[in-house]
Chain A
Amino acid sequence: MSDDLINIKVNQKEIQVDKNLTVMQACEIAGEEIPRFCYHDKLSIAGNCRMCLVEIEKAPKLVSSCTMPLMEGMSIITNSEKVNAGRKGVMEFLLINHPLDCPICDQGGECDLQDQAMYYGFDKSRYKENKRAVDNKNMGPLVNTIMTRCIHCTRCVRFATEVAGVPELGMLGRGENAEITTYLEQSITSELSGNVIDLCPVGALTSKPYQFKARPWELKRTDSIDIFDSVGSNIRVDSRAEEILRVTPRTNEYINEEWISDKVRFNYDGYYQQRIDTPYIKENQKLSISNWEESLKVLKDKLKTLKPLALIGEHVDLETGYAIKKFMSNYGKDNVECRTDNHAILESLDSYRFNTPLNDIENSDLIILLGTNPKIETPIINHKIFKAYNNDSKVFNIGENISLNYKTEYLGESLSSLDNENLIKALKKSTNPLIIIGSAFLNKIKNIKTLKSIFSYADKYKVITKEKNNLNFLNPYASRVGQLIIGNTTNKLCEPFSNLKKDNFELVLSFGSEHIANEQFNNCFKVYFGHHGDDGAMGSDIVLPTPLYTEKNGTFVNIEGRPQEAKKCHNPIGSAKEEWSILKKLSDELSFDFIPNTFEQLRSELFEKHPILSDYHEIIAVEKSTSITPDIEFEDCKAEYPISNFYMSDVISKNSVTMAKCVEEITSTPSLLEKSA
């Protein structure tokens, strides 16, 4: 028997468990369910709801199992009369001041209090006095509050402090006067604030946009992936008929744990706003409604004579990317580009992805942020850095002096600040340093030497060792890593996209990329495949409607190189057609070779060509890592951050009313700028 294991009994069943667990965790291992409200795996232990009472032999009273450490030989009883009576008592007290408004409560049907009252509660109330009423609090445009329902578990308070890293929520007063509120009822300024809705075990904190929309049993669940940043958080999309009514997280311990960002949780109303639902053709400088037959005929004629270039946007899945590549190969090489933001890369996979597995970030003891603002680019990664920070990791920042929800040491605005004395000193002491270089620099680097130098630097200071590679490249786009893996780029090296010779191309096909509006394409014939009309669509000659990620199946590779599937939730809006089927039709008419007849065939062809992509949920291994050169030489470039406003970073969010409210109410809150530590 190892030192860490001890023998205990749960309901007379003998088991061996880790001695560092609590009684509640041991009971769970033994398969006994313990009811609870305040306890949550990811948060610190509070022990204030008292629902998890169990009996421990030789203890005079019931003990709260979530706070009780284990001891050798402990005998725990979870099903005795005494325990049941205890639970009933606690339940009765909790319900004294809880309103009986389940029929009009949004939490109804998925409420912990409702469920546990059914299992463990009393069937009637003995309370004849008045119930207390609490004023509702403002928590911003996302979280709806009905504070009379609150049972003071303080999960939301602990979440805000420990996970979101914005200590803005608290419990004021005491006893009967206790109330949960944000400081001076200001909006929560976190990008993860929506998660308090999932955490709340009752209906006190609910989703504002989802208010009175549906009951959980009416909804169809579809598993999907967050495509609004590159982390690839696992989400579940709940829909009724042809409408998405809410988005909630799916637990994935390797990626997003139990959290998702507010953008994917709340921007779904933008899915149905300003949609391109039918083909358009430009006539007399104005886009007018057309049909598929006519628009494809025009496009086909153009494709016969003009030399095309394909641009890939930020929300394009791998199957579509593969179909585009296949179609474009008929016109030669180097004519598909996903690095429309001038993203500099080297040949190998390890030069454009996040090489540290996301759940290892927290083990780092020194983090260097190079031209990245993880708080608004990838809130989930920011949470992991915050975890590392709480484990006493030091965070250095180079680029702009951005404000994050943890302390950083600012070193300077250019890459050469990597030679800062303090930093070098800290690096030499550090055992597990980590570098994150973001788009603000990657999009500006023009010289291949600079990128190679970053590798050399990482090698010199043990960021890259034989066992691990902690040099991470972060870009905020969901499609990028996958598209680069299948080779949808014109130049594998640092050559920026803006250097593309415009004379070489006469026709631009943009798949959801707004860069089609760039000046360099002014003289080209422009075709926009997309779902939302923004600048890109407005300036195009032909606009073709395509489905959103929730309206088709698709594979996305997240920033750390993990392929995952986003599943179709409902049929496309209007007459939108999947990109591959449009390209198939064009190929047939132009008598190009394009075999797949169905999406499944397309996908299996993709997997045949790129077998590494078929292994869903596993991180792709690097075949050949970038070779290290000894010399270090950084070019001088100024950081320019790709996203300035978290709530308005893409075409869908720009069309979301909820996101617009967030911009108005949250980003304009002065406390965001002058936040206390």
Chain B
Amino acid sequence: MSGNHPGLSNNFSRSGEKFSWSKDNLRSIKNIISKYPKGREQSAVMPLLYLAQEQNNNWISIECIETIAETLNMPKIRVTEVASFYSMYNTRPVGENLVQICRTSPCWLRGSNKITKTICKETKCEINDTSDDNKFTVVEVECLGACSNGPMIQINNDFFEDLDEESTKKIIDNIKEGKPNVIGSQKGRRSSENA
């Protein structure tokens, strides 16, 4: 994976907008912090980064980091360290739909290269790139843990499994047109039962 991957870059940037917690998130934060002993609130940095990413259009801006540091009363650089360590925290803006293509051996053996090619063609963007209409960001990732249903991709929070070129194109088209997609296996399998 190149250093251009939004989750693997050490360069953070400002969004230019103030970031403050939504009411729902403030409630969840209270709940999360209460799980840790007093004086160890900083342990909640990972769930808070996740909440911040969710609230901030799927990426962590410097404003997010500063808000988290303030909330947990910890140095900003410590939050930055954690955010940069994990690949699932995006350090730069991504499109509305973050398409993560698994390219580890099982998916690759089942044809993930073709899926990649289809996605790049349909979304009109390269790997690690965001499409001009800001609808898609496409990245390659390591195993996402759905090996028996490969090849598979993850779009935002949903898995799409048992893909072929046709079903992949359909998924992308549906997103473009704002139509709902069937989540999970595209061949009608339940979970990972025998095909």
Contacts and interface: CB of A to CB of B under 8 A. Distances in A.
A and B found bound together: yes
Interface of A: 161, 167-174, 177, 179, 181-184, 676-677
Contacts of A676: 66, 69-70, 74-76
Contact of A167 (B3, B77, B85): B77
B157 interface: no
A173 B84 contact: yes
B80 interface: yes
Interface in B80-108: 80-81, 84-85
Nearest to B3: A177
Contacts of A167: 75, 77-78
B62 interface: yes
Given A170-B80, A183-B80, A677 B75 contact: yes
For the complex, would chain A's binding face be called helix, strand, loop or mixed by DSSP majority?
mixed
24 contacts: A161-B75, A167-B75, A170-B78, A170-B80, A170-B81, A171-B81, A172-B10, A172-B81, A172-B84, A172-B85, A173-B8, A173-B10, A174-B85, A177-B8, A182-B77, A183-B75, A183-B76, A183-B77, A183-B80, A184-B12, A676-B66, A676-B74, A676-B75, A676-B76
For the complex, would chain B's binding face be called helix, strand, loop or mixed by DSSP majority?
helix
A168 B84 contact: no
A168 B10 contact: no
B73 interface: yes
Interface centre among B69, B75, B81 (most CB of A within 10 A): B75
A172 B75 contact: no
Interface size class of B (residues with CB under 8 A): 10 to 19
A174 B85 CA distance: 6
Contacts of B75: 161, 167-168, 183, 676-677
A536 to B, nearest CB: 43
A317 B194 CA distance: 90
Contacts of A170: 77-78, 80-81
A480 to B, nearest CB: 37
Interface centre among B75, B77, B85 (most CB of A within 10 A): B77
Contacts of A677: 73-75
Contact of B77 (A168, A173, A177): A168
Contacts of A161: 75
Nearest to A169: B77
A140 to B, nearest CB: 15
A179 B10 CA distance: 8
A169 B62 CA distance: 16
B92 to A, nearest CB: 14
Interface in B124-155: none
A64 B81 CA distance: 25
B46 to A, nearest CB: 15
A604 B78 CA distance: 56
Contacts of A172: 10, 80-81, 84-85
A177 B70 CA distance: 27
B77 to A, nearest CB: 4
A3 B8 CA distance: 51
Contact of B85 (A169, A173, A182): A173
Interface in B1-31: 3, 8, 10, 12
In the A-B complex, the 6 residue pairs with the smallest Cβ-Cβ separation, listed nearest first, are: A167-B75, A170-B77, A172-B84, A172-B10, A183-B77, A173-B10
Contacts of B3: 177
Contacts of A179: 10
Nearest to A170: B77
B79 to A, nearest CB: 9
Given A172-B84, A173-B85, A174-B85, A181 B10 contact: yes
B85 to A, nearest CB: 5
Nearest to B62: A184
Given A172-B81, A676-B75, 20 more contacts: A167-B75, A167-B78, A168-B75, A169-B77, A170-B78, A170-B81, A171-B81, A172-B10, A172-B80, A172-B85, A173-B8, A173-B10, A173-B84, A177-B10, A179-B10, A183-B80, A184-B62, A676-B66, A676-B70, A676-B76
A385 B85 CA distance: 33
Contacts of B80: 170, 172, 183
Nearest to A168: B77
B109 to A, nearest CB: 26
Contacts of B85: 172-174
A179 B84 CA distance: 10
B74 to A, nearest CB: 7
B87 to A, nearest CB: 9
A183 B76 CA distance: 7
Contacts of B70: 676
Contacts of A171: 81
B63 to A, nearest CB: 12
A182 B75 CA distance: 11
A181 B84 CA distance: 12
A460 B70 CA distance: 41
